[in-house]
Amino acid sequence: MVLLLLLLSLGLLHAGDCQQPAQCRIQKCTTDFVSLTSHLNSAIDGFDSEFCKALRAYAGCTQRTSKACRGNLVYHSAVLGISDLMSQRNCSKDGPTSSTNPEVTHDPCNYHSHTGAREHREGDQNPPNYLFCGLFGDPHLRTFKDHFQTCKVEGAWPLIDNNYLSVQITIIFKAHRECTDQKVYQAVTDDLPAAFVDGSTSGGDGDAKSLRIVEKESGRYVEMHARYIGTTVFVRQLGRYLTLAIRMPEDLAMSYEESQDLQLCVNGCPLSERIDDGEGQVSAILGHTLPRMSLAWTWPGYTLETANAQCHEKMPVKDIYFQSCVFDLLTTGDANFTAAAHSALEDVEALHPRKERWHIFPSSGHGTPEGGGHLSVSLGLTCLMLLVFL
């Protein structure tokens, strides 16, 4: 006590220094980092840049609370974890950082930015929910609800037709405010371009384009990243067929007029257009019995055993993608369908937001997979156009 009074009298210790030590805020730092990164997907264009910004913000937060967190094991674990992640992602220590205040980084042509700003104003810190839809094989459809169906629809039936994105065989494209001009993407068999029909590869001004096409494999695989609507589209060509995978925020995917309710990704195909013999053609194959109507379709050169063996090489998990592969080989004899099913599953793993739903298996009843029936949609995907409404 004498020493304390002496220090105070000498001016070496201020009265405020006698207060409780500052509280370790490592939990707040970690919570902010999770909030900044929970909506990010490694398959989305710009992921590394945004993740590194969040990591630098996390590192800065830990530095500011370092004195109060001395001896805190959680703090020291976080510091080591940040260092490891920055090394793995090749993040520089110096550079821009993410802000925990969405208002500061508001960008009208970045869906994550303006959605975060709205959530901040309304007090809702939950990240947006994303939906996935895929079309592949002969082809097979996976809806936004993770349902598989068997359909016979032909012609210009839209997969998606909302206020922001329209995907069908014939499509019209519109522009979206200041983010991008009207853009059209069209692909046909043996022609998977790496540009929109006007010859451009992007939309929007500045270096950070709001809409971009990225060619991953010449003539075989392209990706489209639409930052302004938080949407990613994968298009592949395998043999004579095109496959499609889409990841889109739920609030935008469900933003459509009553007259636009005929969307295969949203509601599946109409009952009148569904093909179902009461057993399920794909599940019947897994049950080692083909429906009578399918026996005539079996292609010379493949037996159930050889088709199973070829598909199992690429897909060791016998889920709906494995089933679809076997079904397509038996009914077409086209080995490209093995690659189509395998690529479709890779697209699911890259874009589907919920890992526990990547694989869908048949139930023990009539072979119907959990979440819906099997699908073989007779859509002519030899011509595909993607329409972006902005």
**Structure token pair of residue 194:** 């790496």
- E strands, the chain, are 130-136, 140-142, 148-149, 160-161, 165-168, 184-188, 202-203, 211-217, 221-226, 231-238, 241-249, 383-388
CB distance 32 to 61 below 8 Å: yes
Residues in the chain, overall count: 390
pLDDT in tens, 306-355: 999 999 999 999 998 998 899 889 888 899 999 999 999 999 999 999 99
Q: How far is CA 256 from the centre of its chain?
A: 20
pLDDT computed for residue 336 by the predictor: 92
**Sheet of 148-149, strand order:** 148-149, 140-142, 130-136, 241-249, 231-238, 221-226, 211-217, 202-203
Q: Where are the alpha helices (DSSP H) in 65-206?
A: 73-88, 111-122
Distance (Å) of CA 329 to CA 204, 243, 307, 345, 376: 43, 16, 6, 17, 13
Which residues are CB-contacts of 9 (< 8 A; sequence separation ≥ 6)?
Answer: none
Kindly report the number of other CB atoms within 10 A of residue 212's CB atom. 19
Q: Look at residue 64 and tell me whether its pLDDT is greater than 70.
A: yes
Token pair 């179902």 is found at 276
Is the predicted pLDDT of residue 285 greater than 70, yes or no?
A: no
CA gap 322, 117 in Å, rounded: 42
State how far the Cα of 311 lies from the Cα of 122, in Å rounded to an integer: 49
Q: Tell me, what's the pLDDT at 307? A: 93
Could you tell me if 303 and 310 are in contact, meaning their C-beta atoms sit under 8 angstroms apart? Answer: no
Token pair 């519109």 in the structure block, residue: 174
- Distance in Å from the first CA to the final CA of the chain: 71
β partners of residue 211: 203, 226
* Residue pLDDT, tens place only, 213-232: 899 999 999 999 988 888 89
Confidence band, pLDDT 50/70/90 cuts, at residue 299: low
Q: Quick one: which of 120, 128, 56 has its CA closest to 93? A: 56
| pLDDT score of 382 more than 50 | no
pLDDT over 60 (residue 14): no
Asked whether residue 118 carries a pLDDT value surpassing 70, the answer given is no
CA-wise closest residue to 165 among 301, 266, 52, 65: 266
State the DSSP string of 41-79: -TTSTTHHHHHHHHHHHHHHHHHHTTTTTTT-HHHHHHH
Contact 236, 220 (CB under 8 A): yes
Give the per-residue pLDDT at 102.
43
User: At which residue do the structure tokens 């088709």 appear?
Assistant: 307
What is the pLDDT averaged over residues 152-171? 76
In 227-293 the beta strands, taken as DSSP E runs, fall at 231-238, 241-249
365 compared with 260, residue with greater pLDDT:
260
Which residue is it, tokens 């080989």?
A: 329
pLDDT single digits (tens) 233-243: 999 998 888 88
pLDDT above 90 covers a percentage of the chain that reads 26
Q: What is the mean pLDDT of residues 2-17?
A: 38
Local confidence band at 19 (pLDDT 50, 70, 90 cut-offs): very low
Whether the per-residue pLDDT at 85 is higher than 50: the answer is yes
8 A C-beta contact, residue 223 and residue 216 = yes
pLDDT band at 120 (very low <50, low <70, confident <90, very high): very low
pTM above 0.85, yes or no: no
Give the SS3 label for residue 203: strand
